[in-house]
Amino acid sequence: MLFEQLNERKVPFRLLKELVHPIRPLQDWQALREIKTVLQELQPDLVATHSNKAGLLGRWAARSLGLPVVHTSHGFLFTGREKSTAGLFYRFIEKVFASMGDRVIVVAESERQAADALKVIADEKMAVIHNGLPDIKENWQADPGAEPPGIVMVARFAAPKDHLTLLKALSGLKDLQWSLELVGDGSGRLEAEKLVEDLGIGDRVEFLGMRLDVQVVLARNQIFVLSSRREGFPLGILEAMRAGLPVVASDIGGVKEAVADGRSGLLFPPGSVEKLKQALAELLRGPELRRKMGAEGRRRYKQFFNLEQMVDKTLSLYRKMLR
C-alpha cells in the first residue's frame, strides 16, 4: 500500500535489501554501503532517519557524504535501563551517533530530559515533537459509558509490556462485570494464556492476535489499558484517546504528557497490581466517569496530537535545516 501511494505521488523510493532488523555485523556493513550508494544516486538536500538501526546507519552514511541529517528517535533504548550493561552500551552508541547528526527529534519531553541528564545528546540539538495521528470516522469512535464495560489492551506480548500485571489486577475484580480483549502477539503470549487459566478468568479474556482493524476493536470497548514497564510516547494511547476512550496506564516515559491524570484517564505506578486494580474498579463502576474522561481524551487528541500539527512542526524544523 505504501509503495502504491509513493508511486501515485511520484515520490522516488528504493528498497534496501541489506537493511534488516536483527544485528548482523557483515550484513549491516553491506547495508551501510547500500545506503551510501542510494544517497549518492538520489542526492537529497536533507536526510531524515527513523528507528534504531536505520537511524545509526543512516546518520553514518549521511555524515560520510557531508549531508545534513535529522534523526527521529521513537524511544531511546537506554531509558528505563540506565544502570544495566545493556543500558550503558546503548547510551554510548547513541552518544557516538548523535554526534554524526545535526538535530534529533524526540517524541516526548521525558525523552529529551533523559538524554540531556545523561549527557547523551546536547539539549540544543534536540527538538520535542509529539506523535500525531489522522482523525477517524465517527462510527469508529467508542461509547465509553456503554454497559457491560469492555477493556482492551493493544501491545506485543513481551516483558516490557507487562500483560501479567493487568491480568492479576483483573483477577481481583471478578465481582464486577468486565471483559478483556488483548490485541497483539509475541513470545510472551503463551505465558499470559497460562496465567489467564490459572487465575480462572479464561471466560472473560480473549486473545485476538495481530489485527489490521484495531480501530474497530477500540470502538467496541469502554476502557483502554497499557500496563507497560517501559515506553517512550506510545501511539496506542493516542489511538485510544482519538477513539474517545478513557486510558488507564503506567506512569512511565511520556505517558503523562498524553494522559491528563484524573481528567482523561488514570495513571498508576508500573508493576503495581493493587493500584491498577483500584483504577480499573473506579472506571468499571462509573459509566459517567468513563464518558467524561473519554471526551476529555478526545479533546486532548484533537488539540495536541493531530497529524497536521506533527507534520507542520516537523516540516518547520526541516526548513530551518535547509536555510
The answer to whether residues 149 and 260 belong to one domain is yes
Residue by residue, DSSP assigns 84-152 as SHHHHHHHHHHHHHHTTSSEEEESSHHHHHHHHHTTSS-GGGEEE----B----GGGS--TT-SS-EEE
User: Does residue 19 form part of some domain?
Assistant: yes
Position 225 scores a pLDDT of 98
In a domain, 111, yes or no: yes
54 located within any domain:
yes
CATH number at residue 72: 3.40.50.2000
Is 298 within a domain? Answer: yes
Domain co-membership, 110 together with 162:
no
In a domain, 3, yes or no: no
Q: How many structural domains compose the chain?
A: 2
Q: Do 142 and 214 fall into the same domain?
A: yes
Same domain for 61 and 22? Answer: yes
Answer whether residue 48 is part of any domain: yes
Predicted confidence at residue 76, as pLDDT, reads 84
Residues 276 and 143 in one domain: yes
For residues 95 and 142, state if they share a domain. Answer: no
Task: Sort 40 into a burial class: Cβ within 10 Å, 0-12 / 13-18 / 19+.
Answer: exposed
Q: What is the pLDDT of residue 176?
A: 97
Per-residue pLDDT 10s for the chain (323 aa) are: 788 888 899 888 889 999 988 888 899 999 999 999 999 999 999 999 998 889 999 999 999 999 999 999 998 877 777 778 877 888 888 888 888 888 999 999 999 998 998 899 999 999 999 999 999 999 999 999 999 999 999 999 999 999 999 999 999 999 999 999 999 999 999 999 999 999 999 999 999 999 999 999 999 999 999 999 989 899 999 999 999 999 999 999 999 999 999 999 999 999 999 999 999 999 999 999 999 999 999 999 999 999 999 999 999 999 999 98
In sequence order, the β-bridge partners of residue 247 are 224, 265
Q: Are 156 and 283 members of one domain?
A: yes
294 and 194 within one domain: yes
Phi, psi of 258 (to 5 degrees): -100, -50
Residues 178, 296 share a domain: yes
Query: Are 155 and 126 part of one and the same domain?
Result: no
159 and 238 part of one domain: yes
Concatenated DSSP letters for 213-277?
-HHHHHHT-SEEEE--SS-SS-HHHHHHHHTT--EEEES-TTHHHHS-BTTTEEEE-TT-HHHHH
Q: Let me know if residue 4 belongs to a domain.
A: no
Q: Which residues pair with 180 in a beta bridge?
A: 151, 205
Supply angle C-alpha 93, 54, 251, rounded to 5.
70
Range(s) of the domain holding residue 197: 138-304
- Quick one: pLDDT at residue 126? 95
Q: Are residues 300 and 312 in the same domain?
A: no
Residue 61, domain member (yes or no): yes
